[in-house]
Amino acid sequence: MKRDKRAKVTTIKPRHDAQARFSGYAKPLVDEALRRSAHLDPSADDLHKLRVALLRLRTLLWVWRPLLKREMTALERAYLKHVGAAAGSARDWDIAAQLLGELDAGETRVAGMRLDAARIAARERACTALAAADLRHALREMLHKVNQALNTAARRASIERLASDSVDAAGRALKKRVRHAGKAKKSDYAAWHDVRKGAKKLRYTLEFFEPMLPRRDAKRLKPLKKLQQRFGDLNDAVATERLAQDHREIFADAASADAALAALRQERKRRQCRAGKLIDA
């Protein structure tokens, strides 16, 4: 008797099916992004939460990338990055206003009306970009296309395996970035910024799958949040310093601009030192 050489089909129950589970993770993030962008006149808090929802969606597409066509994943992630950058640029001005206010002294006077005008202009640009991006249609279409591609796939994958592989991949990438930043010069901010991005990716991946991961993985969240906070504070200082350099007109006079930039440099170095302690740099 000839042996049947046909491959055995492995049946995966719906709750373990990675393709079937994607929508359950993605739809709440899409709904959050649409809710935050609904009025196109977002507050600082709305801009931040919109950007976080888009970042989480980008991470989600990265996690499911092995089960999707590379071109589709790259295109959708690029779109989310573009829209997130629009929201982020306006938020940078809100952070700058807060940080400059904390550093403000007699010799570092900021012209309040000019700073407010710059913040308003940034928000208007963000609203224009969000309107042009057509989030409501684009995000719903993205969800539909990705779900269709996943649900019509002949080969099914386990959500537990996908979670484990994604956490491992994000963890390895973060370690590599930490090593690189530890050897890089303090002036090479791009290497430090990569650590922050890697920490976000690993944190979001862990948070997606925390209920099904081993306890040792869940315990990684607390130090990750600390790392992300320290490097986020550094990023705020770097972004504010760049805005101040490029927009000296927000200060009362040249002397105030010079004094503010000197104070920002010191603050950036202080924050970089605090962040560096977490990666032995």
- Domain residue ranges of the chain, discontinuous segments joined by +: 17-276
State the pLDDT at residue 6: 42
State the pLDDT at residue 44: 67
252-271: buried (b, 16+ CB within 10 Å) or exposed (e) per residue? eeeebbebbbebbeebbeeb
Chain centroid to Cα 263, Å, comes to: 28
How far apart, in whole angstroms, are the C-alpha atoms of residue 196 and residue 193? 5
State the pLDDT at residue 7: 40
Number of H helices, E strands in the chain: 10, 0
State the pLDDT at residue 41: 64
- 22 contacts 150 by C-beta, under 8 angstroms: yes
State the pLDDT at residue 10: 54
- 100 contacts 245 by C-beta, under 8 angstroms: no
- Provide the Cα torsion 64, 36, 221, 85; round to 10°: 70
Of residues 18, 118, 9, 135, the one with CA closest to residue 80: 135
Question: Under CATH, what is the fold of the domain 17-276?
Answer: CHAD domain (1.40.20)
Which alpha helices (DSSP H) does 134-253 contain, by range? 135-151, 159-183, 189-209, 215-218, 221-246
> Exposed/middle/buried for 51, CB within 10 Å: 0-12, 13-18, 19+?
buried
How far apart, in whole angstroms, are the C-alpha atoms of residue 102 and residue 112? 14
State the pLDDT at residue 87: 87
Q: What is the pLDDT along the chain (281 residues), one digit of tens a residue?
A: 444 444 444 577 778 899 999 999 999 999 999 998 887 665 667 888 899 999 999 999 999 999 999 999 999 999 999 999 988 888 899 999 989 888 765 445 667 788 889 988 998 888 889 889 999 999 999 999 999 999 998 889 999 999 999 999 999 999 999 999 988 888 899 999 999 999 999 999 999 999 999 989 989 999 999 999 999 999 999 999 999 999 999 998 898 899 999 999 999 999 999 999 999 86
- 125 contacts 100 by C-beta, under 8 angstroms: no
- Provide the Cα torsion 144, 145, 150, 153; round to 10°: 130
The helix or strand, by DSSP H or E, that contains position 132, with its residue range, turns out to be helix 112-133
